[in-house]
Structure 1
Amino acid sequence: MTMSPLSSRDTGRIARHAARADEARWLHPVQQALVHRRGWLRMLAPRALGGEELPLPDVVRLEEALARTDGSTAWTVTLCAGAGWFAGFLDPQLARDILATKRVCLAGSGAPTGYADRDGDGWRIDGRWDYASGAPMATHFTFNAILRDGGQPLLDDAGQPRIQAFVVPASLVRIVPNWRTMGLRATASHAYEVRDQWVHARHGFTIDPAAARADGPLYRFPFMAFAFVTLAANVAGMGQHFVDLAIDAIAQRRDRFNGGGPLIETAAVRAVLDGARAGLDEARGRLYALLDTTWELAAAGSPVGEHDAARLQSLAMGWVSASRRAVDTLWPYCGLTAAREDSEINRVWRDFQTGSQHALLMP
């Protein structure tokens, strides 16, 4: 049996405060303190600049284990640590300064819903972005902006508006508290604005292996494959958590139409449970097999080709699809306890349904 990358003590600390965090709509102080103490928000940043630079398969397994414990904690860690990965593409001195920030946390959004107008040796930023998970504890924010000069969009070689990523300190940002979803409530994934703020050009960066400023296989890994496997681990972890709780819920129900025996002992229900678990195990195994192999090649200096990157994305989506099938199949057997808003299984179901709505994970 594979050992969990998350200690039982840390699992208990996170789970113990999950319900209160959900009710408060932000991670509990104990959860926040643990995230910082373990260095999870630095785990993808370059070691030479103050990060942990963990191997990607280790990161994905940790994120899955966190999601199997509490979706909001896992989602916040994944999105903020993912933004921390951008340090490998930043001006090294700027990245070093950012990572030296006490309790550093980078939050952000990938949608290009703002503008960066050329202004001397920098850019003047104006825009609004949605869904910055972990916004209340962010020390810095990242975002994509459309580049302009003299009010006119700068164009790329294909004649399309040029888009560039930026990182700015939280002092330039105004959080717009509008995260009112049914699930992942404790991620506090609020919108944020930057209005008429100037930043030096070094605050802009390009997310591309060819533009990496740090050495190491993490920064040669294709961004989309990276994004798919980390998001899939979150959704699948939440899905597995639901399945674990569903088994307990079904075990407590009686089959009122066939003698009143335990519902879980009926052949039809056992078949449903076995099918759901088998589907999850198969999809999980296929994803990790390819991820481990691909990472070994990347760590040895080989580039990750388009074919392998596309296969990783496909297997990640296969894992998400298997999770959706398992959750949707088992839900009707769980009874009214699962419909109670204050029950753990209901919270996990809400988190799963919300996380699986991420734009990249559209079926």
Structure 2
Amino acid sequence: MTIKTHPQNILQEEWIMVLRGYAQKAEQAGQLHPKQLALIFEQQWFKALVAKDYGGLQWSLPQTVRFEEAIGWVDGSVGWAFTLCCGAGWFSGFLDKSFAQQIFKNEKVCLAGSGAPSGIAHILDSGNYKISGEWSHASGAPHATVFTANCFLEERNKIKAFCFLKDEVQMIKSWNTIGLVASASESFAVKNLVIPKERCFEIEPAKAVIKAPLYQYPFLQLAECTIAANMSGMALHFMEECEIHFKQKKYGETFMWENEKLQSIFRKEEANWSAARSAMLEAVEHSWQILLAKDKISESLLNQVSNSSQQVVKVCRHLVNTLYAFTGLSGARMNTLLNQIWRDFQTGSQHAIFIDLN
């Protein structure tokens, strides 16, 4: 395969060696390996979307999306943990400034959390909050320093977001999926926890505390394109491993790669992936430039970002499932890289944001 804008071009070779070199040990341990985490903290990747006011990198959305794809290509679990923890770091633009300065002083800060409103919050006479609840799928939970969670605020009949410190939550080992094992997307819970009112926030552009374009970008489309980019990276990695497998595996008297039917199927899937990927990257770039120039993105352009992100995942699903059918038992063996990528992709593609019942 020859890809002009291959995601590996934005990564240093030593980064790839560390992240992939410890991927198997990370899966065995059920969480990211210390060597992988050391690199992430050294490069401050969990601060990619954290505001510069708090020592963050505050990357642009196009830069973030391209990196999401690249790190997803390197390893599924690392990419998934980065994508979700980095996404939670984006909330820095909406947090109380004194609280944000406090938590982001930590060089190993990492935000994890859940978007499900599975907690109940009550306003106390002091203005603080009393919260109970349990939340699932907090990617990166074992190394998280702050947890974010949505709660139903009964007194106001609305949903609001809150922050809990690591020592305030009970982590529950519940992550039991076929893939993305090392992302350690565990559950967490609190019971009758009282927290200061400063730890409540809302992720609406009008509620942004940091007045930078990054925090004016709508959350839905930001989530769609960043997670879709991650899936694109995993799909590309799967294609590349399939090509290696097909060139080494014989079908009758010849290697599988020499089969014209398989070549045609492979090239078709590759072309569809490339077209869908390009459309999403262009939509993201266009929407970002419009935001910078006009402070507001039209609904039609936001729909393009959503539709192109959803299309990427649909195309990647078809690609992975089509090529998998030709991998034989090598694709089914749990100890092969081919199988691990397949499992990671299948797990990530089940994210609720890409389940379409319309």
Q: TM-score normalized by structure 2?
A: 0.96
* Residue 301 (structure 1) shift: 4.1
Say whether the 8 Å CA contact 2:41–2:107 is kept in structure 1. Answer: no
* Residue 203 (structure 1) shift: 0.5
Q: Pick the aligned partner of 2:308 from 303, 315, 329.
A: 315
- Mapped partners of 1:139, 1:180: distance in 2: 22
Partner residue in 2 for 1:186: 182
Three-state SS of the structure 1 residue aligned to 2:11 is coil
Q: Pick the aligned partner of 2:128 from 122, 139, 154.
A: 122
- Mapped partners of 1:307, 1:124: distance in 2: 41
* Residue 171 (structure 1) shift: 1.3
Partner residue in 1 for 2:346: 353
**1:1-363 counterparts in 2 under 5 A?**
1-2=4-5, 4-119=9-124, 120-149=126-155, 154-155=156-157, 162-256=158-252, 260-363=253-356
- Mapped partners of 2:56, 2:80: distance in 1: 20
Three-state SS of the structure 1 residue aligned to 2:112 is strand
Structure 1: which amino acid aligns with 2:242? A
Q: Unpaired segments of 5 or more residues in structure 2?
A: none
* Residue 80 (structure 1) shift: 0.6
Three-state SS of the structure 2 residue aligned to 1:304 is coil
Alignment deviations for residues 333-359 of structure 1 (CA, whole Å, 9 cap, x no partner): 112111110101100000000000000
- Higher mean alpha-carbon deviation, 273-282 vs 290-299, is at 290-299
Three-state SS of the structure 2 residue aligned to 1:112 is strand
Three-state SS of the structure 1 residue aligned to 2:163 is strand
Three-state SS of the structure 2 residue aligned to 1:27 is coil
Structure 1: which amino acid aligns with 2:302? A
Three-state SS of the structure 2 residue aligned to 1:143 is strand
Three-state SS of the structure 2 residue aligned to 1:333 is coil
Say whether the 8 Å CA contact 1:217–1:301 is kept in structure 2. Answer: no
State, as a whole percentage, how many aligned pairs show the same letter. 36
Say whether the 8 Å CA contact 2:133–2:190 is kept in structure 1. Answer: yes
Q: TM-score normalized by structure 1?
A: 0.94
* Residue 118 (structure 1) shift: 0.8
Structure 2: which amino acid aligns with 1:289? E
- Higher mean alpha-carbon deviation, 175-184 vs 331-340, is at 331-340
Say whether the 8 Å CA contact 1:287–1:315 is kept in structure 2. Answer: yes
Partner residue in 2 for 1:158: none
- Mapped partners of 2:258, 2:5: distance in 1: 28
Moved over 4 A (4+): none
Q: Unpaired segments of 5 or more residues in structure 1?
A: 156-161
- Higher mean alpha-carbon deviation, 329-338 vs 69-78, is at 329-338
- Mapped partners of 1:122, 1:148: distance in 2: 14
- Higher mean alpha-carbon deviation, 73-82 vs 89-98, is at 89-98
- Mapped partners of 2:148, 2:54: distance in 1: 18
RMSD: 1.1
